[in-house]
Amino acid sequence: MELFYASVLCLFVLLAILSLHFLISSNPKNLQNLPPGQTGLPIIGETLQYLAAGWKGHPEKFIFDRVSKYSSYVYKTNLMREPTVVFCGAAAHKFLFSNENKLVQSWWPSSVDKIFPSSNQTSSKEEAIKMRKMLPNFFKPEALQRYIGIMDTIARRHFSAEWENKDQILVFPLSKRYTFWLACRIFLSIEDTKDVDKFLERFNLLAEGILSLPVDLPGTPFNQAIKASDYIRKDLVGIIKRRKVDLAEKMASPTQDILSHMLLTADEDGKYMKESDIADKILGLLVGGHDTASSACAFIVKYLAELPEIYHGVYQEQMEIAKSKAPGELLNWDDIQKMKYSWNVACEVLRLAPPLQGAFRDVLTDFMYQGFSIPKGWKIYWSAHSTHKNAEYFPEPYEFNPSRFEGTGPAPYTFIPFGGGPRMCPGKEYARLEILVFMHNLVKRFRWEKLIPDEKIVVNPMPVPEKGLPVRLFPHNKA
């Protein structure tokens, strides 16, 4: 199978070179005074080097090698078959996030549209604006407070079924099950583990194909992702139809989950979303609502295994909270607010292993940045690593140090695991809650050790332990 994919890739590259269709604009005015850099091979540019850095576990190497080579925090390249300018550093982040939907807008490779085709004919920009007006009402802290008990209940059930009475477990797939179960419950009120697992199997196929080689042939990850997306969307439409009936018959609550919220919330024109549109949005939220958090949870387990003194600090904080609870009493908002050290630890994990490595922007109009011309139609790529692992912003950047987040924390635009500006992840507070609930239920039950001390980390497109992070569990003695 690997030989097949290698052959397809070689054919793809050969055809691209022979086609001589260069994607760089031919307008001389737009190409004057460009940032330094090289665009690599025709068509594919430096995409393979960019991806290979992640496959080898050091995605920041692609960024910092070129910053060093060109002595510039802004340089040109060619990624995902597009002429691209890479923006690095806090000043660049501030500029991009401050000019969202003015000079730039969000962009994904066209192959992603085949996996996430929208049933709505309005532009992705318009749809994004509508969604961001709707979602904060659901994801704001005061709205999420009522779900903390549900999160704790699901976490308890998860650890009881998947971790307890086991000597060894694979952390990464279990962290995905936990976060996906939460997303299904809080977004759709799906609780049955059989239904959750059926969904998760197809979501895994979808996630594996999002940034795979865009070859739509039977058996390829890209083809499987398209099929999985279609299947999930049809299932979601069925769930939406049933919910509309339940709401009409008062058998469902208007505030029970995000699906009810979407069905009952009109836009500024008084219009309600169609079933197919809601299915599209829920699909995207389910992907974003579990994939990034599952990576964060797995890496928390990794670092706590490697750093006993950090584990001890988290354990002490969480046990103080556990001891204050009556038997069977669930976590609440006040408990979450007490988890300051635990969240500092989680933030340091997100700094070193950000699930969102970076993102692309489409340039809407010609503009100048730091004396360089940025042409309309080009793409911009920003990288979290350009600040997260930069000694200019975080001294000794590869050292694990949760104290970086004490007090006022890092300088603005240096710590950006959730993006920034108008496109900052609206689920940031939701992610904080599910991560802290996970940490609480984890450390009050176990300590653990890694079974593969030097397990490789692969980034594609998020960081994951190559072997799934196997650990040996040591349950705490119960009084």
DSSP 274-289: PHHHHHHHHHHHHHHH
Helix and strand numbers, DSSP H then E, in the chain? 18, 12
Query: Dihedral of the CA atoms 156, 161, 165, 169 (nearest 10)?
Result: -100
Average pLDDT, the chain: 86
pLDDT value at residue 343: 97
Per cent of the chain over pLDDT 90 is 59
pLDDT higher than threshold 80 for residue 426 = no
pLDDT value at residue 382: 95
- Local confidence band at 174 (pLDDT 50, 70, 90 cut-offs): very high
- Local confidence band at 27 (pLDDT 50, 70, 90 cut-offs): very low
Does pTM top 0.75 for this prediction? yes
Which is it for the CA torsion 350, 351, 354, 359, positive or negative? positive
Cis status of the peptide bond prior to 475, with omega within 30 of 0:
no
- Local confidence band at 5 (pLDDT 50, 70, 90 cut-offs): very low
Instruction: Give me the helices (H) in 56-107, please.
Output: 60-70, 90-98
> From its phi and psi, is residue 250 left (phi > 0), alpha (psi between -120 and 50) or beta?
left
Burial class (CB in 10 A: 0-12, 13-18, 19+), 86: buried
pLDDT value at residue 15: 42
Residue bearing the bigger pLDDT, 121 or 274: 274
How far apart, in whole angstroms, are the C-alpha atoms of residue 428 and residue 386?
Answer: 21
Query: Dihedral of the CA atoms 109, 115, 120, 123 (nearest 10)?
Result: -10
pLDDT value at residue 133: 62
pLDDT higher than threshold 50 for residue 83 = yes
Q: Is 77 within 8 Å of 37 (Cβ atoms)?
A: yes
Q: Is 423 within 8 Å of 319 (Cβ atoms)?
A: no
Q: What is the mean pLDDT of residues 63-77?
A: 95
- Local confidence band at 28 (pLDDT 50, 70, 90 cut-offs): very low
Short-list 178, 235, 243, 163, CA closest to 206:
235
Short-list 342, 277, 295, 311, CA closest to 130:
277
| 316-364 per-position pLDDT tens digit | 999 999 999 999 999 999 999 999 999 999 999 999 999 888 999 999 9
pLDDT value at residue 134: 61
Instruction: Count CB atoms within 10 A of the CB of residue 128.
Output: 16
